[in-house]
Amino acid sequence: MGSDLLTIKHLNLYSREGSHLVKDVSLSIGHGETLGIVGESGSGKTLTLKAIIGLLPTGIRETCEEKKIEGKCAMIFQSPLTSLDPLYPVFRQLVDVVEYRQGVSRPEAQKIAEGWLQKLSLPEDLAEEDRYPGELSGGQCQRVLIALALATKPDVLLCDEPTTALDVTVQKQVIDLLKDLQKELGFAMIFVTHNLAVASQLCERLAVMRHGEIIEEGRKADVLKHPAHAYTKELVDSVLSVPEVD
C-alpha cells in the first residue's frame, strides 16, 4: 500500500461550553484502502470527518497532535437535497467545479463533466437541458454529489452516510458505484455510517465509535466474527438477516 495518505493522531473536539465531543481519536489510511467508521447518531463520526477536511461548525475547538493529509481530500455529504444549492442547475455546478479545480478551459470542463454524467449513469441530456436538484430523484442527486467530489481528483474521499436517505435498492447501486470508482481511480476512502451491514459491504477495516471514542478497530472479518467490545457485539447482533422461507 505504501505510506499512509491520511494520518490523524489524538484528535479531540470540544463544544463552546467545554463538552468533550470527540475523544483522543487516531486513525490512518493508505492508498486504495477503505475504512468504515460505524456508530450511532451523535457518536462523533461526522464531526471527525469535518475536522479532517477543515469544516468544523463555529464554536467547536480542536486539538490534534498530528494531522497529515498527502494530496487532495474531498467529501460527500449525507443529504443530497440539502447539500446541493436548489437554485443552481446541477450540470453547470459540475462544470464549474471541474473548471476551477482542474484548471482547464470551459469547453474542456464541459467535456469532462459530460464524461462524469456517463460514468455515474446520470441523464446525458443534462448537458443540453440542465435541471435543478429538485427536478432529480434522490439517487440522482446523490450521484451528482459523488461526481462533484470526484471531479476534484481526490486522493482521499470522505463519505458522510451518503446512502442513509436512499431506499435499499438505490443504496446498493451507490455502494457498488463507489467500489467500482475506487478500483478505477485508486483513491482511499473513509465511509461513515450507522449501518454495520452497509459498512461491511464496502470496507476492509472497521472502526466502531461510541460517545466520541473509537472503542474498537480492526480488519472487517475480525470485528464482525470476534467483536472485542460489548457495544460492537450489539451492533453485529442487530443486523437483520433475510428469513428462510419454506
What tens digit of pLDDT does each residue of 146-172 get? Answer: 999 999 999 999 999 888 767 788 788
Q: What's 31-54+71-238's CATH class?
A: alpha beta
Separation of alpha carbons 50 and 35, rounded Å: 16
By DSSP bridging, strand 156-160 and strand 73-76 are: parallel
Cell of 11: 484528535
Q: How many residues does the chain have?
A: 246
Residue 177's pLDDT band, with cuts at 50, 70 and 90, is confident
Per DSSP, the three-state class of 135 is helix
Question: Residue 138: its pLDDT value, please?
Answer: 85
For residue 208, pLDDT over 80 is answered with yes
Output the pLDDT for position 83: 85
Give the confidence band of 1 by pLDDT, cuts at 50, 70, 90.
Answer: very low
Residues ≥6 apart with Cβ < 8 Å to 50 = 56, 57
Domains of the chain by residue range: 31-54+71-238
Question: Which of 150-181 are b and which e, b meaning 16 or more Cβ less than 10 Å from the residue's Cβ?
Answer: bbbebbbbbbbbbbebbeeebbebbbebbeeb
pLDDT of residue 241: 67
pLDDT tens-digit map of 103-116: 999 999 999 999 99
The answer to whether the beta carbons of residues 159 and 191 sit under 8 Å apart is yes
Q: Give residue-wise pLDDT tens across range 212-224.
A: 999 999 999 999 9
pTM of the model: 0.90
